[in-house]
């Protein structure tokens, strides 16, 4: 009798642990709603859209602001800024990717996990380039807006704010508006923090 009680207790602990683990797993991979992105009518879904899908829409790949474009991504890993999308001589956005497979993959087969859009011109490896500034991010185009105007448009909870940024989050997804020292919108980042990306 006592033995069966011990077995039931142990089984209960194992089941409870499995439930907690399952909840944590799905929270890390699926919690929240990705921020919507529209570029010239092309929809991008962070952690879903692959680089190849944008290449098929006529975008070419270029070096990032600071780093050269990578051709491949190691197995079960993710990158920080790895390159940018270019179309009609304009830089659309820097991007980062994740490779969820068990082997190295061409960057074009990887999923986009973050993008950063710039306003007022940008550079690629030290060379200036004009930027595409008409992306619809989070339901509106923030180009030329002040911090207060952007805040009035936001529907998500503001989780961080100071003189240089406003950050909102929805579960595991975030959108951050970055400002210059003069208060002008400099860039908008959309993605998943590295700590929330599960590649295994």
Domain boundaries, the chain: 1-30, 37-196
Q: What is the pLDDT of residue 28?
A: 37
Q: What is the pLDDT of residue 120?
A: 86
Facing residues of 127 across strands? 124
Q: What is the pLDDT of residue 4?
A: 54
Q: What is the pLDDT of residue 86?
A: 95
pTM tops 0.85: no
- Other Cβ atoms closer than 10 A to 63: 19
Q: Which stretches of the chain drop beneath a pLDDT of 50?
A: 6-7, 10-28, 30
Q: What is the pLDDT of residue 26?
A: 34
Q: What is the pLDDT of residue 81?
A: 86
Structure tokens belonging to residue 90: 């304009």
Q: How far apart are CA 143 and CA 133, in angstroms?
A: 6
Structure tokens belonging to residue 150: 């952007």
Helix/strand/coil (H, E, C) string of the chain?
CHHHHHHHHHHHHHHHHHHHHHHHHHHHHHCCCCCCEEECCEEECCCCCEHHHHHCCCCEEECCCCCCCCCEECCCEECCCCEEEEECCEEEEEEEEEECCCCCEEHHHCEEEEEEEECCCEEECCEEECECCCCEECCECCCCCCHHHHHHHCCCEEEEEECCEEEEEECCEEEEEEECCCCCEEEEEEECCHHHCCCC
| Residue 185 phi, psi (nearest 5) | -65, 125
């Amino acid at each position: 009798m006592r033995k069966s009680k011990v077995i039931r207790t142990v089984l209960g602990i194992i089941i409870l642990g499995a439930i907690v683990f399952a909840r944590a797993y799905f929270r890390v991979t699926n919690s929240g709603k990705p921020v919507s992105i529209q570029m010239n009518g092309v929809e991008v879904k962070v952690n879903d859209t692959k680089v190849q899908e944008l290449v098929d829409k006529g975008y070419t790949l270029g070096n990032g602001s600071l780093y050269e474009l990578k051709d491949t991504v190691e197995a079960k890993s993710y990158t920080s800024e790895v390159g940018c999308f270019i179309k009609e001589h304009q830089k659309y956005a820097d991007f980062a990717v994740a490779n969820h497979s068990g082997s190295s993959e061409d960057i074009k087969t990887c999923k986009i996990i973050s993008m950063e859009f710039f306003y007022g011109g940008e550079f690629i490896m030290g060379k200036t380039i004009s930027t595409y500034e008409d992306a619809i991010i989070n339901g509106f185009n923030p180009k030329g807006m002040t911090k207060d105007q952007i805040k009035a448009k936001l529907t998500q909870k503001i989780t961080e704010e100071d003189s240089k940024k406003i950050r909102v989050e929805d579960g595991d997804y975030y959108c951050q508006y970055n400002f210059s020292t003069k208060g002008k919108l400099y860039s908008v980042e959309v993605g998943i923090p590295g700590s929330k990306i599960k590649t295994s």
